[in-house]
Every structure is written in C-alpha cells, then in structure tokens.
Structure 1
C-alpha cells in the first residue's frame, strides 16, 4: 500500500492523555509508513510529545484548539461548543475533505451527535451503526449495532447487513461473509416481528446466499458466521456481557495459578501456552469501533486504551479510508430489495 492517507487525531479525548495518543500514532506509522497525521488539541503539549518520535518527522500538522469535549459533557453541550474543541475541529476537517478519516477516544455520545450533524448520512442510509470485531473459534467476526440505535426497523437491520458485510470484506478479508441476525431462537417464527421481516427480506436480497438465518447469543463465538446484526440495545448488552465474562474467566485463571505452590509450578510449565492465549484474546488488537453509514470515516477508540490499543483504532481508520468503504456501501444499498 502506497496511498497517502491523512488521518485526523483527536489528541485530547483519551483517558490516558496526549502522550499515549502520540505514541500510538508512531506505532501505527511503523505499520503504514505512508500515513500522515493532523493532530487536534493543545499545540504545546502535542509538539512536546511528537518530537520524541523520529518516524513522525515531516508527517504531521498540528491544529491548535482551546477546548476539549469532556467525558461528562452531554451531546447538547458538546454540539454548542464544537467549533472550539479538538473533536469538533477534527470533524470539520473531515467534512471539508482535508483528511480522509478521524480517530477519537472521546465521549461516545458527543462524537456520534457531532458526526451526524457535521457529516450527515451516506445516500440511502437511514441511521449509522457502531461496528467492531470480536474473537470466535475460527478467527473473528463483525457485530453491529453496538449501541447507536436502541430501537430499529427491519429497514435499519437490512442496511446494517449491507454495511456489516462490507466491513467484514475489508477487515476479515472475507469475499462472501456469512451473515446472521441475533435472536432468542433459531426457529423462523422466533423473536420480534421486525426481526422476522428482516430475515424474510434478506432471503430475497442479493445477500441471500450468505444469510444463514438467526443466531443465539451463546453461538456467536462458535465460528459459524462472519457478521452478526442486531439493534443497538441487544448488541450493546451482548458486548458488555462478553466483556464481563472474559474478565471473570481471566480472574478465575489468575486465582487458580496464584492460590498454591502447585499452581505456580503449573503456570511456569504452561507459560508459553498461556501467553499465546492472552495474545489471541488481547482486546487491544480489536480496539476501535467504526461509525458505519456516515459520510466520512469515524473510528471510536476505547477511552482507556493504551498506545497499542489506540494504534489499532488508527489502523482500522487507515484500512477503511484506503478501501473507500463508503463508495462500496452506497453501491450495494441500491441493490435489489435492500432499499
């Protein structure tokens, strides 16, 4: 890949501080040397940290802002002061096509509200969806929506199916990603009416050959499908539940090995296997949720992500900018029985 991609970075949005964000941009640039950055935030702080990394020389621009969007700011307040904040200025650059993508670890509600106002939706798309990847038995899968829309219509879910499939093609490298709808059962008549209507319409759409039907929450990690679609209410609950179970299992394993001398010996014997497992499940590798459906690429990093985690979010922004996912989504939205 040699295409020069300019990525806007909201330096002030992270819980870890500006230094972590700058370090992350250096890490991502080692993977994609052609990246250029436009940093938004306190120029003195940014310059102080950016000068530490030789690979960033001649590859960045700094746009000074006096304010930032705080974690406790309501979307309405963030919208009012957006023109003076690092997040708001970064979005204005994206709107004006001065950059190809934006990455922020800031307030999710504010970022979504400002993104919808500044960028608007892609032609034909009714609502944006938050999408991200998760591990399963055979690799990874894409899930959306993860919280942007607590209530959805069958038309919304159909569009999520289109967008999720394009996401899987870019991130997972799947030419024909398998698709399922999250539901409380796999029988045809199970679940809410709009879910049943979505399934019927998918079976008549250009995605029919990849649509496998419904999938229950306990099966989404079994490797059966590449894309799982749901409303944002169910998707967010599934996400948070999975995160909680992962933390619980990690703590159980840690306690087992630390509880006795035999456990500590076992840990030493299994250290390589455990390290490999930890690496495979490392959430930092999957940090970064894409706001799909907007007229611009916006990636939301976890606020508490470290440098490696934020670098993963930058990688996602680069990959989607390079692949021009917006053009592909618009092309497929117009296909049979999807509008």
Structure 2
C-alpha cells in the first residue's frame, strides 16, 4: 500500500510532516511518497530514526499557502505539492493522500485530479467526534458553507457508507443537526432537507438531533451544511480544551487538590486527552472523490501525521472509496 504525503503544507512543514510520515510508514507498514522539495526532504530523512522505511521522494516545485484562494491557486500552481500528491492518487501511483495544508486547496485539488464519485454533486468533509464509547461522524464539517437540501441526502448516504465501513456498524443512525427535535424545526433549508431524508429508505434516518444529543449517542452520523458543521466542530474542540484547562487549574488550586491530581493525571492523559485532542484522530476524510484523501489540521505535528496515515490505511483496507462508488450509484438507480 502506498500513501502520498504533501510534505510542504501546514504550519510545521516540512519538518514535522516528514517526521510523521516516516514514523507512520514504520508504524503502519506502508510506503510513503514524500511530496515536496527533494533537498529539504532528504536532509530530514537522513536525520530520522525511520530513514530505512519504504519511501520515495517526489519533487514539487511550488507550495499553496494557507491564505491563498483554493480554486485559482491549484490552477495557477500546477506543480504545487498538493497537486502533485493528488495526481499520484489519480494516476494510480498511490492509493491515498494525506495533506495538512490549505483545506480548500486540498479539496479543490482532489476533485480536479481524482474526480467526483458519480451521483455526488459536492464532496464533503467528514470528521469524527468522541463520546464515552465509539465516536460519531459529522458531515459536512466545512467543505460546503452554502448547500441545497438535496445535498443533505448525499451527505447522509456518504456518511452512512463510511461509518459502516470503518466501524462495522450496519445501518448506522443518521440525524439532521438542528435546533430542536420536532420535524418542523429549523429554517427552510432544514425543513426541506428533513422531508428528503425522511422519504429516503436507504438510510436509517432518526429525525432531527440537537448538538448535545450527538454526545449522548442518539445517532452515529450527523448531517448538516458545512457552515453549521464547522462551527459545531470548532466549538466542540474549544469546549473540550476549556474543560481540560479548568480541570488543570482545579488540580493546581491547593496542596490537597495537587495530591489528588497526581492520582488522576495518568488517567486524564490516557482517556480524556486522547479523545478530545485532534492529533489522536489524525484528520478528516474528504468523502465523494474517487480517491482516499485525509485532510489533517493545519497545525499538525508528527504524531498527528502518524495517525492521519493510520486513518488513511484503515479506509483503504476497508475499500471505502470503492464502496462509495458502488453504493452511491446503486442509490441513484
């Protein structure tokens, strides 16, 4: 199995990206294509304890920065590292790609170089969020700020297929993220989307779900427009980090608290921290393109890239893209 890694995108590129890619190649036993400036990459490889893994450096002479406009930059910078990485997948040199740079550019490049799954108008970003047991999936988490109601149905179909493939859950429950549970709740977009989801027999639609209900495991998949989903995602991350800071402050508030804190410190690190920190999940999956694309957080360091490669490997092994193409097409007939 070969996975292309855009080594030039992200806040800590290329150092942390290359470190994580080599670490991931060793840990997950995959070959990595390291996309970027060869001289910089090779010098980092030489310093790595994982320099003997199966890797290949693929040259890319340009980089798309975080602040650049996605659509125009992928057309102008044809040799940008993200374009080279997604072309490797489109041409069959790799089965998946991991990128931590400009999210919009990664999405646009994947669509341009891999193509869309037939029956899908707009690919969507799918992100896992934790619960006390298995995580739930949010689709769309930021790819499409403006949506038509029909797109919610496509998100639901893709999310169901992906969740079932990755977690082994048959017919996962799908909820429409909304401001209340009643069918008539929400704006015109939500009400129209509800009707479409309710009438479609191929998904296990359980109705409207409020954000708090997702953490109580009322559904495995939450669908929404990308604007709502991204706010939900970032608010959830912020609240989780706030709670961790508050617990830390409480533990350090006095001698007795510090003594008790020492007893729970390891438990907090091994459970709560691992579930809420985005480095553990590795990244988001771009659903609806004809190739596996994992989009890592822009501030990803080596550990996050390691886990992004693990997510990519799992999705490739479960034939997520092939299942998406087959089952989405069947649902269109």
* Unaligned segments of structure 2, at least 5 residues: none
Distance 2:238 2:25 in 1: 32
Instruction: Report SS of the residue matched to 1:84.
Output: coil
Partner of 2:21: 25
* Structure 1 residue 295 displacement after superposition: 1.9
1:92-116 alpha-carbon deviations (Å, 9 max, x no partner): 2222122111111111122222222
Distance 2:133 2:34 in 1: 37
Distance 1:325 1:9 in 2: 19
* Structure 1 residue 300 displacement after superposition: 0.8
Partner of 1:218: 212
* Structure 1 residue 198 displacement after superposition: 3.1
Partner of 1:326: 321
* Unaligned segments of structure 1, at least 5 residues: none
Instruction: Report SS of the residue matched to 1:139.
Output: coil
| Aligned with 2:33 (options 35, 38, 43) | 38
Distance 1:287 1:180 in 2: 24
Partner of 1:251: 245
* Structure 1 residue 241 displacement after superposition: 1.0
Answer yes or no: is the 8 Å Cα contact 1:138–1:222 preserved in 2: no
Alignment of 1:61-210 (within 5 A): 61-208=56-203, 210=204
Answer yes or no: is the 8 Å Cα contact 1:82–1:89 preserved in 2: no
Pairs aligned (count): 332
Answer yes or no: is the 8 Å Cα contact 1:121–1:293 preserved in 2: yes
Partner of 1:295: 290
Answer yes or no: is the 8 Å Cα contact 2:62–2:81 preserved in 1: yes
Partner of 1:229: 223
| Aligned with 1:6 (options 2, 6, 10) | 2
Distance 1:239 1:273 in 2: 25
Answer yes or no: is the 8 Å Cα contact 1:165–1:179 preserved in 2: yes
TM-score (norm 2): 0.92
Distance 1:288 1:168 in 2: 15
1:166-217 alpha-carbon deviations (Å, 9 max, x no partner): 2212332322211111011111111233433333333333434x22111001
Answer yes or no: is the 8 Å Cα contact 1:149–1:232 preserved in 2: yes
Distance 1:266 1:298 in 2: 44
TM-score (norm 1): 0.91
Answer yes or no: is the 8 Å Cα contact 2:166–2:318 preserved in 1: no
1:25-80 alpha-carbon deviations (Å, 9 max, x no partner): 233234321x1111111111211222344655361111122221112222245224
Distance 1:65 1:335 in 2: 38
Tell me the C-alpha RMSD between the 2 structures.
2.0
Distance 2:193 2:67 in 1: 36
